[in-house]
Structure 1
Amino acid sequence: MMKKLLGALALFLTCTVSFAAGGTYPLEKAPNRINDMAALQNGAKLFVNYCLNCHSANSLRYNKLTEIGLTEEEIKKNLLFTSDKVGDLMHIAMTPADAKSWFGTTPPDLSVIARARSVNLGPSGVDYLYTYLRTFYRDSAKGTGWNNLVFPDVGMPHVMWQRQGERTLTKTQVHQAADQQWERVTTVYDADGFSEVTREALSDYKGKATEEFKFEAANAQAAAQFDSDMADLSNFLGWMAEPVQQLRKQIGVWVLLFLGLFLLVAWRLNAAYWKHVR
């Protein structure tokens, strides 16, 4: 029985890790800013200005942002559109029918996107979003003019590309061609999205298939600031998916301490109860 349980656990862990690493591009660990009020406030500002045009957050009200240190007056002044009120849900004006017509699909609601993208015993949804938001690149072959390493062929354009600045992408793949010969294929996407492909035969290659990606930013300072902003935005989306997560963790610690104390008391009571029987 124990062997079966251990086997099932091993299978579960294997499947979980495989799913976490299922994409070709590895997810990067996002900076943990879930308790940084300034970072969450910046993430909220970015979300309202760049995401809330197409993506709704129908499970969150604007006044919930007071929990990250904003006052209702600051929310009214900086985060509300003309007709919105502080107590309103984060709806958008675009209808699902219009979204389907314009983008080919309805942009998902982002209320719990961070939890939806989490993997058990693997990368968190914040890690996924942090990596996704930073891996857009120009691709003239796509209808939107953009592509993404984490979500290939995504229908969403890079709406914050001006904040990030222009950059190029070099993708290097080593694989077996149709004739079973190994080759290295290097694809360079320039700042306008046009690609140039070079192939190199590897006659004595004894390794395995690999894939590498390298971005080169035209403005390193702007790119670094963009990375920091995306960390703030990802952490805000993580907070929005579960605003009470910090309280839940605090309560969980006290519950575990209580259970540990109760276990000790129960163990001693059990020993005292059965000592005369034995």
Structure 2
Amino acid sequence: MKIMKFFLAVSAVLLIPCFAVHSAVDVAVDKAPINIDDKESLKRGAKSFVEYCLTCHGAEFMRYNRHRDLGMSESDILGQLIHTGQKVGDLMESAMRKKEAEAWFGVAPPDLSVIARARGADWLYTYLRTFYRDSSTVSGWNNLVFDKAAMPHVLHRLQGQQILSTNNQKDEQASITEKLEVIVPGIMTESEYNDFVIDLVNYMVYLGEPHATHRRELGEMVILFLFVLLGFAYLLKKEYWRDIH
């Protein structure tokens, strides 16, 4: 009993930093309509990832040839995803060197292989849609869910430029609200840009666990097998205890 109490006490102490970190980064985010079974969405997301993300970030836990699982042929991969002379079997590495990135941005951009598992799809979906102009930062950009983010808004040509406007509502509660306002339109409408981000985040979720769909299907088969086995086990039990009961 004493050993169990000691174990519980130690576990509680070790978990305190986890709760502290969670509360520190807890922000209101929008629900991301993710569907990793939608292969067409994943293909569009892969193309967007290569074009807009892979220049600075890498996905070093992923190989290009894994996109065959999405229905892409080797020629599709070479023509649509590889633009740097790499081979189909190579890892998806960033073209930017770490020292150069640290000199330009102050910190090297993180690898995005498991970013969706670390941050969550909802966080990424909100993050990519809430950049706004801020002259107080080095890049001239800021973000609602990641204050003073070192990353500039590389998708501003698509979304446009936003500013953070503050409205003072003088009512009985004297509340202050903040909202994003578009000052320079992008080449996409708001709906088109949201769909673009959904595909991109969907792909980043896929990056974190490319075999998730297969694992789920295998799990369903295993559960079905166990239910069938349970029936046979019950019949065997009845036969074994028939003469006793």
TM-score (norm 1): 0.72
Q: Is the 8 A contact 2:131 2:162 kept in 1?
A: no
| Partner residue, 1:160 | 155
Q: Is the 8 A contact 2:54 2:95 kept in 1?
A: no
Picking from 42, 45, 48, the partner of 1:43 is 45
| Partner residue, 2:197 | 230
Q: Is the 8 A contact 1:165 1:223 kept in 2?
A: no
| Partner residue, 2:56 | 54
The CA distance in 2 between the partners of 1:211 and 1:65, in whole Å, is: 47
The CA distance in 1 between the partners of 2:40 and 2:156, in whole Å, is: 23
The one-letter code matched in structure 1 to 2:221 is W
| Partner residue, 2:181 | 216
Pair 1:28-2:30 in alignment: yes
Indicate the larger mover: 135-144 or 228-237: 135-144
Picking from 201, 208, 221, the partner of 1:241 is 208
Q: Is the 8 A contact 1:25 1:149 kept in 2?
A: no
| Partner residue, 1:196 | none
Counterpart mapping for 1:180-195 below 5 A:
186=167
**Consecutive unaligned residues in structure 2, runs of 5 or more:** 1-7
Q: Is the 8 A contact 2:169 2:177 kept in 1?
A: no
The CA distance in 1 between the partners of 2:64 and 2:227, in whole Å, is: 40
Q: Is the 8 A contact 2:131 2:153 kept in 1?
A: yes
The CA distance in 1 between the partners of 2:94 and 2:157, in whole Å, is: 23
Evaluate the alpha carbon distance shift between residue 239 and residue 18 of structure 1 in structure 2; reply closer, same or farther with a 3 A threshold: same
The CA distance in 2 between the partners of 1:19 and 1:58, in whole Å, is: 27
| Partner residue, 1:128 | 123
Picking from 214, 220, 224, the partner of 1:253 is 220
| Partner residue, 1:91 | 93
Q: CA deviation at 1:268?
A: 4.0
Write out per-residue CA displacement over residues 30-72 of structure 1, whole angstroms, 9 at most, x where no aligned residue: 1233222221111111111111011011111112122222222
The one-letter code matched in structure 2 to 1:238 is V
The CA distance in 1 between the partners of 2:74 and 2:145, in whole Å, is: 37
| Partner residue, 1:169 | 164
Identity rate of aligned residues, in percent?
41
Evaluate the alpha carbon distance shift between residue 41 and residue 200 of structure 1 in structure 2; reply closer, same or farther with a 3 A threshold: closer
**Consecutive unaligned residues in structure 1, runs of 5 or more:** 1-7, 118-124, 172-185, 187-198
| Paired residue total | 231
| Partner residue, 1:145 | 140
Q: Is the 8 A contact 1:45 1:79 kept in 2?
A: yes
| Partner residue, 2:116 | 114
Report the RMSD for the aligned CA atoms in angstroms: 3.2
Write out per-residue CA displacement over residues 76-132 of structure 1, whole angstroms, 9 at most, x where no aligned residue: 223222421222111123222222222111111111111222xxxxxxx22221111
Evaluate the alpha carbon distance shift between residue 92 and residue 32 of structure 1 in structure 2; reply closer, same or farther with a 3 A threshold: closer
Q: CA deviation at 1:271?
A: 4.4
The CA distance in 2 between the partners of 1:213 and 1:263, in whole Å, is: 57
Q: Is the 8 A contact 1:56 1:110 kept in 2?
A: yes
Indicate the larger mover: 43-52 or 267-276: 267-276
**3-state secondary structure, aligned to 1:109:** coil
TM-score (norm 2): 0.80
**3-state secondary structure, aligned to 2:189:** helix
Evaluate the alpha carbon distance shift between residue 128 and residue 211 of structure 1 in structure 2; reply closer, same or farther with a 3 A threshold: farther
